[in-house]
Amino acid sequence: MNGKRISFPELESMLSRKAQFSRDKLSITISPETGTPVEYVVTIMDMAMRLQINGILATEQPVD
């Protein structure tokens, strides 16, 4: 998160707290590093869906 590695349970706890106390629906940008296993990205997307957080997947286009 924000360039720091944290465990999935830590991330879920943090996002859950933010979602509980937010007046508006939260949005997060998921920007995986090159080589990140797809399963990790899917886990975070599932987490966002369970917590009713809008998860936006950001990818970079290859440079020609």
62: pLDDT confidence band, cut at 50, 70 and 90? low
Question: What gap in Å lies between CA 53 and CA 64, rounded to an integer?
Answer: 34
Tokens of 37: 């296993």
- Model confidence over 4-19: pLDDT tens digits? 888 999 999 999 999 9
For residue 12, what pLDDT is reported? 94
3-state DSSP call for residue 42?
A: helix
Tokens of 18: 């933010």
- Model confidence over 13-36: pLDDT tens digits? 999 999 988 888 899 999 888 899
Amino acid at 45: M
So where are the chain's domains? 8-57
